[in-house]
Homo-oligomer: A and B are copies of this chain.
């Protein structure tokens, strides 16, 4: 499995970066400053900086999506910018809700500018995404806007479930998968579809691409959850076993808890204890997730989602080179680097 960044991601950054900056420049000054900081385009005082903004994976998928329908990648730029705006809207608001103080190795926007300014900046990005899709006179502009709007509703539903799960001890694996589908996979599916819809693709192609993106999104979440326990700190940017320390009910953990094994019971006791967890506790808890089958389940589920994703691209008329690039990105974002 390759771990080299696919060429399409760098291409997307070059095409979508300037369009994103142009879009953000339309915001009113106060909001623009927060957005530019969050995107990694400026420091807290508004001075331009370079290189901070995320991995551009969703924009790369959106450009491929336009190419899947036979259009030039340039025609996917507006949908790509819009999807990334929605992704960043949700990051800005989620960081407040989750009380997260760091993102991409920088203080989160709400810690720098205050909760109110960060709420407002998120609102502005969501509204801007809609503006961009509606003012672009592409044949499928309104359909693309609906595709995004539906993904936003699922994103919000997923975040709501996530917040609710924190207060519950009895969350099932099915509920967690549903939540990951809403919170992560829906926008990934939208990214894989929106460029094609925007240029007027057939419903068959749109549905096939959405299925691809939905599977990739879940495989991505499973991988993220696996890396949150066993990932190398130099890859994840977080200490090893960080998700266990935070007692996060990630998919491998919930799968282990649901296994009905003796280890599940012991794991539940460790996670429910009110004391701080020592390094020994964390190592032991990670071993229990393995012994209860949680890690193996998550790895197999990620692999089978990836296979299902590839199969979804068959027979819907996606050109071979575009198909190969879709799969390269899917493999890249689900690579497990321990």
Pick from B120, B123, B130, B142: contact of A163, CB under 8 Å: B120
Contact A120 B145 (CB under 8 A): no
Residues from chain B with a CB closer than 8 A to the CB of A28 are 153, 156-157, 160-161
A54-97 Cβ-contact flags toward B at 8 Å (1 or 0): 00000000000000000000000000000000000100010011
Q: Number of A residues whose C-beta is below 8 Å from B?
A: 40
Residues of B within 8 A of A115 (CB): 96-97, 115
Is A164 at the interface (CB under 8 A from chain B)? yes
What are the residues of chain B within 8 A of A145 when measuring CB–CB?
130, 134, 142, 145
Contacts of A127 in B (CB 8 A): 126, 149, 152-153, 156
Query: Is B156 a contact of A123 with CB atoms below 8 Å?
Result: yes
Partner of A124, one of B30, B120, B153: B153
In this complex, the member of A29, A31, A130 whose beta carbon has the largest number of chain B beta carbons within 10 angstroms is: A130
Q: From known contacts A28-B160, A126-B126, infer whether A116 and B97 are also in contact, taking CB-CB under 8 Å.
A: yes
The reply on A258 being an interface residue by CB < 8 A is no
The 0/1 profile, CB within 8 Å of B marked 1, for residues 96-128 of chain A is: 111000000000000000011101101110111
- A276 adjacent to chain B (CB < 8 Å): no
Is residue A170 contacting chain B, with contact meaning CB distance below 8 A? no
Q: Mark A1-45, 1 if CB is under 8 A from B, else 0.
A: 000000000000000000000000001111100000000000000
Contact of A149 with B123 at beta-carbon distance under 8 Å, contacts A115-B96, A115-B97 already known: no
Residues of B close to A334: CB separation below 8 A: none
Does A263 touch B at the CB level, under 8 Å?
A: no
- Determine the main DSSP class of A at the interface with B: helix
Chain B: CB-nearest residue to A93: B119
Determine if A156 and B120 form an interchain contact, defined as CB atoms under 8 angstroms apart: yes
Known contacts A131-B153, A145-B145: does B30 contact A164 (CB below 8 Å)?
yes
Q: What 10 A-B pairs are tightest by C-beta distance, nearest first?
A: A97-B116, A28-B157, A30-B160, A127-B152, A142-B142, A134-B146, A130-B149, A124-B156, A131-B149, A31-B160
Q: Which A residues lie at the B interface, using CB under 8 A?
A: 27-31, 89, 93, 96-98, 115-117, 119-120, 122-124, 126-128, 130-131, 134-135, 141-142, 145-146, 149-150, 152-153, 156-157, 159-161, 163-164
